[in-house]
């Protein structure tokens, strides 16, 4: 009897915390309260695993060290733009000045205009490029992954990092503890012995079992010699090169960048590193190259639970609402909040050519069936929906009006917007945007259209899966 009363008291306390401290979405709040009182013991365990009990002040260093709103370079850039005296190096950046200004104010995102951007859609080609650049490193390699596995991809990366550390290159490897739970200390023994540093982000405290499923570092970053950066959707494992019995082929998007935005990407890495390793490393823009011969404009935007804001979500929202002609989205998960959903509906109803591509198979079943339901509803409003059939689609890209684009780690789901640490490159350049648009159109050839008529014909079993999955995703 006493134990039962204690459980209900804890449930009441958890309910009070959800309402007054976590400030979740109303639907999520009601869903959690219902679970806590229908399943008192089980609900409490689920809440501990999935809640946001982690105090945000512990994460403040992730957003306050090098991207301060009083950054003198950012303040000067904003002043010039507000006075109409800022020199945009290409027409696309000038056309998107309001969006750029929004990102400056809301996300403290500095605009660099001297970038050279290369797009990879093949994991094999991207990793070969990474290997080549890492082997040529002379000063430093900073690497951050959500997933690394002890297969021939992950172990090859560790091998190269070990070789470079032995040559005197400064090597830092930051891995999310949950996403990289298959990696063991023995896999890094030689790297550490050579002087390389390996740190886990939010490591498990008890026997590698972590009750915290949220607050995962979902970023995928690589910075070499302050000169080259990689950012996108690829993790370090064999499935990302299409070597998987479950998924078969793998379609992703990753960028190789040289130019001013390398400093911003490295700053994001160093902030994560300082937090995870309890250090105070600082960077100087003067240590980074300033010219590449290209005038591609880029803003690097990161977001995560350390911030009260949802920077990437609002950047997506502004990007979509600013579209005049076309929107092309590739995402494995389409589970946004109501604001993004309404923006896409509004764009489609306004005559904007909205195209959305999702995978033909789930890697997370509940999330997939909510995705399927959401895109089915968007099809009713005029969006063109494509189901990619040539393996698994993991790319996270948005292209708008063949002028602006985003590539990074953030999916179109609430987890990416509120619970994960993410990083995206927002690009203002016709050549890059057109390349992404052409890649999308090429992927359509390996996809099938989900029309409103086809969606209406889905089986009763699919409808049941959609309904159950919708309830489960609301507790995030």
**The predicted structure's pLDDT at residue 205:** 64
* Active centre residues (catalytic): 218, 220, 225, 394, 396, 401
pLDDT (0 to 100) of residue 419 = 87
Tell me the torsion sign for CA atoms 359, 362, 365, 367: negative
> Distance (Å, rounded) from C-alpha 80 to C-alpha 66?
21
Strands 353-359 and 326-330: parallel
Residue 24 has a pLDDT of 54
Average pLDDT along the chain, 476 residues, taken 10 residues at a time? 61 54 56 61 58 51 50 89 92 96 95 96 97 98 98 98 98 96 96 98 66 81 97 97 90 97 96 92 84 88 88 97 98 94 97 97 87 96 97 97 98 91 97 98 98 95 87 63
Query: What is the structure's pLDDT at 213?
Result: 65
Residue 50 confidence (pLDDT): 55
Residues whose CB is less than 8 angstroms from the CB of residue 114 and which lie 6 or more positions away in sequence, other chains included: 89, 259, 260, 290, 291, 292, 294, 295, 296
pTM listed for this prediction: 0.89
Cα angle 437, 439, 445; round to 5: 110
């Amino acid at each position: 009897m006493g134990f039962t009363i204690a459980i209900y008291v804890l449930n009441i306390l958890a309910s009070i915390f959800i309402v007054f401290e976590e400030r979740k979405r109303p639907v999520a709040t009601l869903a959690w309260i219902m679970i806590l009182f229908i399943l008192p013991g089980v609900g409490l365990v689920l809440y501990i695993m999935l809640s946001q009990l982690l105090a945000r002040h512990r994460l403040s260093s992730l957003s306050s060290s090098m991207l301060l709103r009083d950054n003198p370079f950012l303040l000067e850039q904003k002043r010039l733009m507000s006075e109409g005296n800022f020199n945009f190096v290409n027409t696309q950046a000038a056309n998107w000045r309001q969006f750029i200004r929004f990102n400056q104010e809301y996300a403290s995102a500095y605009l660099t205009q001297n970038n050279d951007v290369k797009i990879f859609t093949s994991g094999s080609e991207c990793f070969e490029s990474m290997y080549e650049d890492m082997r040529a490193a002379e000063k430093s390699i900073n690497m951050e992954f959500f997933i690394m596995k002890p297969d021939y991809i992950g172990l090859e990366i560790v091998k190269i990092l070990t070789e470079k550390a032995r040559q005197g290159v400064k090597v830092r490897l930051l891995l999310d503890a949950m996403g990289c739970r298959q990696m063991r200390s023995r896999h890094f023994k030689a790297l550490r012995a050579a002087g390389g540093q390996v740190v886990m982000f939010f490591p498990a405290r008890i026997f590698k079992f972590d009750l915290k499923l949220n607050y995962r570092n979902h970023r995928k970053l690589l910075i070499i010699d302050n000169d080259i950066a990689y950012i996108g959707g690829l993790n370090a494992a064999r499935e990302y090169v299409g070597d998987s019995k479950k998924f078969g082929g793998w379609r992703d998007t990753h960028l190789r960048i040289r130019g001013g935005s390398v400093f911003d990407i490295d700053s994001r890495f160093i902030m994560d590193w300082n937090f995870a390793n309890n250090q105070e490393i600082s960077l100087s823009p003067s240590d980074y190259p300033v010219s590449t011969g290209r005038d591609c404009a880029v803003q690097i935007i990161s977001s995560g639970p350390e911030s009260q804001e949802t920077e990437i979500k609002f950047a997506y929202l502004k990007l979509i609402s600013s579209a005049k002609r076309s929107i092309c989205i590739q995402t494995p998960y389409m589970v946004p909040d109501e604001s993004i959903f309404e923006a896409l509906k509004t764009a489609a109803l306004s005559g904007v050519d909205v195209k959305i591509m999702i995978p033909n198979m789930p890697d997370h079943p509940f999330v997939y069936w909510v995705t399927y339901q959401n895109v089915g509803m968007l099809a009713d409003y005029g969006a063109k929906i494509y189901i990619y059939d040539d393996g698994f689609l993991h790319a996270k890209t948005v292209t708008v009006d063949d002028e602006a684009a985003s590539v990074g780690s953030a999916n179109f789901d609430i987890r990416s917007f509120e619970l994960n640490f993410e990083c995206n490159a927002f690009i203002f350049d016709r050549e890059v945007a057109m390349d992404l648009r052409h890649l999308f159109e090429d992927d359509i050839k390996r996809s099938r259209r989900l029309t409103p008529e086809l969606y209406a014909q889905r089986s009763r079993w699919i409808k049941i899966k959609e309904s159950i999955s919708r309830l489960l995703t609301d507790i995030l």
